[in-house]
Chain A
Amino acid sequence: QLQLQESGPGLMKPSETLSLTCTVSGGSMSRSSYYWGWIRQPPGKGLEWIGSIHYSGDTYYNPSLKSRLTVSVVTSKNQFSLSLTSVTAADTAVYYCAGVPFRYFNLWGPGILVTVSS
């Protein structure tokens, strides 16, 4: 059974670049029907889709973040990652990695809280 686990920094300063990694365990992430995504949730607020990627490298980004966002995949490590540049306090959130069908998310990591503060 596939499982996801996020990793990365918990505290960042404004203007830094956020880098998060999601490790997929329990099976290969390289199946044709699998898409992998990032969703975030500011404290006490709702869910925001960030972007999704297929193991082939096909990516879909939220236009509201596209200018600062890169989502990539390293199939040899069974990992995919998120890079978000020039973070501000507004990027403070719990970040979830998720998958697997393209249009919805039936697999989620536990989430990682990222706080942006000077």
Chain B
Amino acid sequence: DIQMTQSPSSLSASIGDRVTITCRASQNIDSYLNWYQQKPGKAPELLIYVASSLQSGVPLRFRGGGSGPDFTLTITSLQPEDFATYYCQQSYSTPWTFGQGTKVAIK
């Protein structure tokens, strides 16, 4: 199985901050990397697919980048509704696997 490692596991930030979350795969996965946002008690929502494609309806402040084993999710200006947990998911080969999550909290 391909292991996905996110860093940091949690972070505190203020409204308007630029936030970057990193996801590293245990092997090359080309651009088969997706990002999800999950709020407490809710299902995850797709933000970014194939590394950098923005899902319809997702604000432009969310940006995905990277390829191979290393990827980033950047929120260019953190908004109140962005406080949540973020997960990466590789879709290079089954079993699809997720990172352990990064919780973004209010400073």
Contact = CB atoms under 8 A, between A and B. Distances in A.
Interface of A: 46-49, 52, 60-64, 96, 98, 101-106, 108-111
A4 to B, nearest CB: 9
A111 B49 contact: no
Given A103-B32, A103-B91, A46 B100 contact: yes
Interface residues of B, number: 23
Contacts of B42: 110
B87 interface: yes
A114 to B, nearest CB: 15
Given A47-B44, A96-B43, A111-B43, A104 B89 contact: yes
A109 B43 contact: yes
Contacts of B94: 49, 52, 60, 62
Contacts of A105: 34, 36, 44, 46
Given A46-B99, A46-B100, A106 B43 contact: no
